[in-house]
Structure 1
Amino acid sequence: MRLKTSEFQSLFNDGLNGLAEVFEKHQYELRIAGGAVRDLLSGKRPEDVDFATTATPEDMKRMFQSAGIRMINNKGEKHGTITARLHNENFEVTTLRVDVHTDGRHAEVEFTTDWQKDAERRDLTINSMFLGLDGTLYDYFKGYEDLQNRKVRFVGSAEQRIQEDYLRILRYFRFYGRVAIEADDHEPETLAAIRENGRGLAGISGERIWVEVKKMVVGSHAAHLLELIYNLDLAQYVGLPPDGNVEEMKRVWQNAKGHSPKPMTILAALLHCPEEVEKMDIRLKVSKEEKSLALFLVKHRRELCKSQDEPDSLKPFTDFIIDSRELDSQSKVCELLKYQGEEKLLAELCRWSIPRFPVSGHDLRRIGITSGKEIGASLQELRDIWKKSHYQMDKDELLSHIKS
């Protein structure tokens, strides 16, 4: 098969053409590798393009130096990766490799010139393909067939691939959410291998786990995959509470999935209390913003709700935002409305701008109030009046209440 799509052709610019010329001149093969091939075969233009080659890192350094091409960020050299910079663009090129030793987290590799051996060490069939710069597809494990059939399978033995790097369990889930049509169309032997080897995730760093979990939660089938994590007894190893509220999570996913929820909005449904947020943070080392959102949702998902008297009114939510001193309170309340399934109120809040309270302490001093304590009390009194007016009263109207 030879690919000739516009997405593929759009990759070729002065930088890539220059890179190709260097490898061709020195008679080394250069192909597009991994996820970029998968994306191109799916009709997408990849955001990142990785390259594989039969040239060793030393070969590449000699080639690039002789061509006057700058090399940057060579931290990846011990793993076989050299980054060349041509025409203001970086190109990561990695020598073909085989694993000589793996411990479930890291691999010791040797370089090879055998494309199939390199493909064998990759995780999933859909990620194990190569694409020549002439568009020729090199597919050793039926990855294209799996992609067409929307199947996610490990290369060779699922158990062996998982034991090489236990994070591949979560990568399987993540790509299942991106590729599969049906929510529950797994091969039984794959799930069996995941169950048997799930405890290996305990040795994977929280940062690496969190990267995969976040991507999984914003993909398709997120509720099914999170439930599967519990059914396969993996939750305890990935920082989720062992007795997470799966039914609540499934309900929240249905509420929010059409509104681009943040990953933490879905995961917060599993958590019962702030202490579980803290435990999750210790394991996964989430960002301050992500932790703050989880704590906000766990605290306010029940107490901050629409008014029973005015069910179509945003007022309880806008009052909360007005009173809050947090800069991101409006975005947090938006996530709360996604969580609660309040589509109409969410749409209104997205259009709403926080109004500016029109009275300041200086205005009160001008009319004779000089005590700091009295100024604070008066400002709060006027703020309450302003809120009751749906933020409509202007400065003079509000100050008239003080004068009277």
Structure 2
Amino acid sequence: MSGLPAHLRDAAWLVNGPVAQILDLLDRDGEEARVVGGAVRNALIGQPVHEIDIATTAQPDEVLRRAQNAGLRAVPTGIDHGTITLLSGDTPFEVTTLREDVETYGRKAKVAFGRDWRRDAERRDFTMNALSVSRDGVVHDYVGGLADLDARHVRFIGDATQRIAEDYLRILRFFRFHAAYGEGEPDPAALHACIAGREGLGALSRERVRTELMKLLVARGAAAAIQAMAESGLLVTILGGVPYLASFTRMIAIEAAAGAAPDAVRRLGALAVFVGEDADRLFERLRLSNAEFDRLRSMADGWRRVSAGLSAPDARALLYRLGPTAFSDRLLLAWSRSQDAADDSRWRTFLELPARWQVPSCPIGAADLMERGIPKGPALGAALREAEAAWIAADFPSDAAVIAAIADRATANRTS
């Protein structure tokens, strides 16, 4: 028996506010509605509830009719599969008619609408995701999800191989959910099925793989889950290159010791980026955003030149040139690949620099050099770059006389 409660009667979101309004709308007049999936799972174990999905016996056209009569905005976001998004204010709630898969082929499925809560639960991926709760707070469990959630055991519903064949993204989802909610070793049957189905990963869209991987990288058990994926031969398939497991594990430990928030891009860099070509490969393979690629490329380009022996002026110069995010990325990656402890005070001092030092703007501009006789054109640009470099090398002086002397030297070098 599970030690978790079989009710959520104290869940405020269930009895008050927009969720209660939608349940009241759909859970009457011969129809039934419940909250399903992740919201139930998280509420039972005391984790934050974010997206709240609702399932109902009402057919999609009946959901639309009731929503419109109640003055709720309804968007048929996936009406072919029975999903309608209802908006209460600016908050969206996905409402899906009970269904069962008649035929599946990869991500797509031919579904039939029904009224059987058990059949609807059995078509989901993991037992802990198949829980539902009615508006009286009673939790309904048809597949052993309560016991598995209590044991922190991530298990596929029914035959793991079949569940994966329905959607190969479930391989990544298995490891993500194990990292987020699991304890101990991964479920053996699930692990075997993931390994057996690994070739199916190649048919997935790069965007979907990226989304799951980034969520996995910041899960609380990411280190163990990534290690299991590497040992199973799955990680090389996903990344297209050799993973740096020690660097990844150390990055997690350093973030925790330094009080830095888990960051998916930074952890991806620790796991998979050693040189610039690695960033290029990941950009294409995972369809990363330009901003994510720029961060990885910056990490790859300069982490070797950063060490705990960096001087304070050099650290300030690096922060000035990179900005806070890229500075922290490069610093943490170098730290993760050093032999220094995760609580090393020298690295910690550098990491705190963006909070301690306000990056100044260069006080020497084009007008200052033009006043000294340099006309517009290539010479002016060269003089500006020389003046800025000299100001940085002098450790960002603010004294007017020192700044003027730097501008004078830059001018003299272009007019002599």
Decide whether the 8 Å contact of 2:73 with 2:88 is kept in 1.
no
How many Å apart are 1:75 and its aligned residue? 2.8
Q: How does 1:23-34 map to 2 (within 5 A)?
A: 23-34=26-37
Matched, 1:208 2:213: no
Could you say if the C-alpha distance between residues 118 and 334 of structure 1 is closer, same or farther in structure 2, counting changes exceeding 3 Å? same
Q: CA offsets per residue over residues 327-370 of structure 1, 9 Å max, x none? A: xx321111122223333211223333211111212122334444
Pick from 150, 154, 162: which aligns with 1:148?
Answer: 150
What is the DSSP-based 3-state SS (H/G/I as helix, E as strand, rest coil) of the residue aligned with 1:84? strand
5+ long unaligned stretches in structure 2: 1-5, 336-346, 410-416
Do the aligned residues in 1 keep the contact of 2:53 with 2:95 (CA within 8 Å)?
yes
Change (3 A) 1:384 1:291: closer
Percent of aligned positions that are identical: 31
SS in 2 for 1:301: helix
Question: Which letter does structure 2 place at the counterpart of 1:96?
Answer: L
Aligned CA distance change for structure 1 residues 318 and 9 (closer, same or farther; 3 Å)? same
Distance 1:90 1:13, change over 3 A: farther
Farther-moved stretch of structure 1 (18-27 vs 112-121): 18-27
State the shift of 1:86 in Å: 4.0
- Indicate if the aligned counterparts of 2:124 and 2:130 stay in contact, CA closer than 8 A: yes
Q: Is the contact between residue 39 and residue 52 of structure 2 (CA under 8 Å) also seen in structure 1?
A: yes
- Worse overlay, 265-274 or 140-149: 265-274
- Of the candidates 378, 383, 396, which is equivalent to residue 388 of structure 2? 383
Corresponding residue of 2:339: none
2:221 paired residue number: 221
CA contact (8 A) 2:67 2:74 kept: no
Question: Which of 7, 18, 23 is 1:20 aligned to?
Answer: 23
The residue aligned with 2:292 is: 290
Q: 1:237 to 1:23 in 2, by over 3 A?
A: same
Gaps of 5+ in 1: none
* Contact 2:40 2:131 (8 Å CA) reproduced: yes
Change (3 A) 1:275 1:384: closer
Task: Answer whether contact 1:218 1:262 (CA < 8 A) is retained.
Answer: yes
Alignment of 1:111-122 (within 5 A): 111-122=113-124
The CA distance in 2 between the partners of 1:94 and 1:20, in whole Å, is 12
Looking at structure 2, the residues matched to 221 and 17 of structure 1 have their Cα atoms a distance apart, in angstroms, of 34
Distance 1:170 1:375, change over 3 A: same
- Show CA shifts across 1:4-53 (max 9, x none): 22xx1134445334323332442210100000101111223411110001
Q: How does 1:39-118 map to 2 (within 5 A)?
A: 39-65=42-68, 67-87=69-89, 89-118=91-120
Q: In the TM superposition, what is the alpha-carbon distance from 1:110 to its structure 2 partner?
A: 0.9
Task: Report SS of the residue matched to 1:90.
Answer: strand
SS in structure 2 of the partner of residue 356 of structure 1: coil
Residue 91 (structure 1) shift: 2.9
Q: In the TM superposition, what whole-angstrom CA distance separates every residue of 1:290-340 from its partner, at most 9, and x where no partner exists?
A: 1111111111110244545x3xx2x3233134345xxxx321111122223
Stretches of 4+ aligned residues off by more than 6 angstroms: none
The residue identity in structure 2 corresponding to 1:262 is D
Residue 319 in 1 paired to residue 317 in 2? yes
* Gap change, CA 1:260 and 1:340, over 3 Å in 2: farther
Report the AA paired with residue 330 of structure 2: L
Amino acid at match of 1:332: A
Which residue of structure 2 aligns with residue 335 of structure 1?
329
Query: What corresponds to 1:194 in structure 2?
Result: 194
Asked if the contact 1:337/1:343 (under 8 Å) is kept, the reply is no
Q: Secondary structure at the match of 1:73?
A: strand
30-39 or 68-77: which moved more? 68-77
Distance in 2 of aligned mates of 1:87 and 1:386: 53
How big is the shift at 1:378? 4.1
Please state how far the C-alpha of 1:284 moved relative to its aligned partner: 1.3
TM-score under structure 1 normalisation?
0.88
Instruction: Show the counterpart of 1:249.
Output: 248
Distance 1:369 1:89 in 2: 59
Aligned CA-pair RMSD: 2.4
Length-normalised TM-score, structure 2: 0.86
Quote the Cα distance in structure 1 between the aligned partners of 2:307 and 2:133.
Answer: 53
Deviations 1:260-301 (A, max 9, x none): 242222222323432232222222111001111111111111
Task: Indicate conservation of the 8 Å contact 2:13/2:20, yes or no.
Answer: no
Letter in 2 for 1:16: V
Name the amino acid aligned to 1:317: A
| Structure 1 position 118, deviation (Å) | 0.7
Deviates more, 1:211-220 or 1:226-235: 226-235
Question: Equivalents in 2 of 1:86, 1:322: separation in Å?
Answer: 45
Alignment size in residue pairs: 390
Number of the residue aligned with 1:266: 267
